């Protein structure tokens, strides 16, 4: 009489564990995907430099960022304008999407969204 009860109990526990693994797997997969996306977002050299600049002062305008990046790279004034456009359409929206910065597209204001120490850690980790 005890054997059927133990067998039934084992079946119920196994079923519950399978359900638990299924329920937990989805958020873990999403976290892994989010982590991989964040890694690729900050792997680009321009976005990395933007984050380094912002960890030092936490806020800037898009134009000021383009000017500072251009000075670091020795870029001409014409290319600085192109860099400004790339920041607006590509780099800053990606950093904003992954919550590294808050980017006001209308005014061009950029502020570090995360704690500077956290951003430095992320940059050092990749």
Write out the residue range of the structural domain in which residue 102 sits.
44-125
67/109 same-domain check: yes
Q: What is the DSSP string of 22-39?
A: HHHHHHHHHHHHHHHHHH
CATH number at residue 48: 1.10.10.10
- pTM (two decimals): 0.68
Residues 31 and 56 in one domain: no
Between CA 36 and CA 124 the distance in angstroms is 15
76-125 pLDDT, tens digit per residue, is 777 888 999 999 999 999 999 999 999 999 999 999 998 899 899 988 88
Which own/partner contact pairs does 98-102 have at CB distance under 8 Å and 24+ positions apart?
A: 98/37, 98/38, 98/41, 98/42, 100/41, 100/42, 100/51, 101/50, 101/51, 101/54
- The residue among 27 and 48 whose pLDDT is bigger is 48
pLDDT tens profile 66-77: 999 988 777 777
């Amino acid at each position: 009489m005890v054997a059927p009860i133990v067998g039934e109990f084992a079946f119920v526990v196994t079923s519950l564990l399978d359900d638990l693994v299924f329920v937990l797997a989805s958020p873990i997969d999403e976290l892994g995907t989010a982590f991989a996306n964040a890694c690729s977002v900050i792997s680009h050299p321009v976005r990395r430099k933007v984050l380094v600049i912002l960890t030092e002062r936490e806020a800037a305008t898009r134009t000021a960022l383009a000017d500072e990046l251009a000075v670091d790279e020795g870029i001409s004034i014409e290319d600085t304008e192109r860099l400004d456009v790339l920041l607006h359409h590509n780099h800053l929206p990606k950093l904003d999407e992954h919550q590294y910065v808050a980017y006001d597209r209308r005014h061009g204001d950029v502020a570090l969204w995360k704690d500077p120490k956290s951003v430095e850690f992320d940059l050092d980790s990749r």
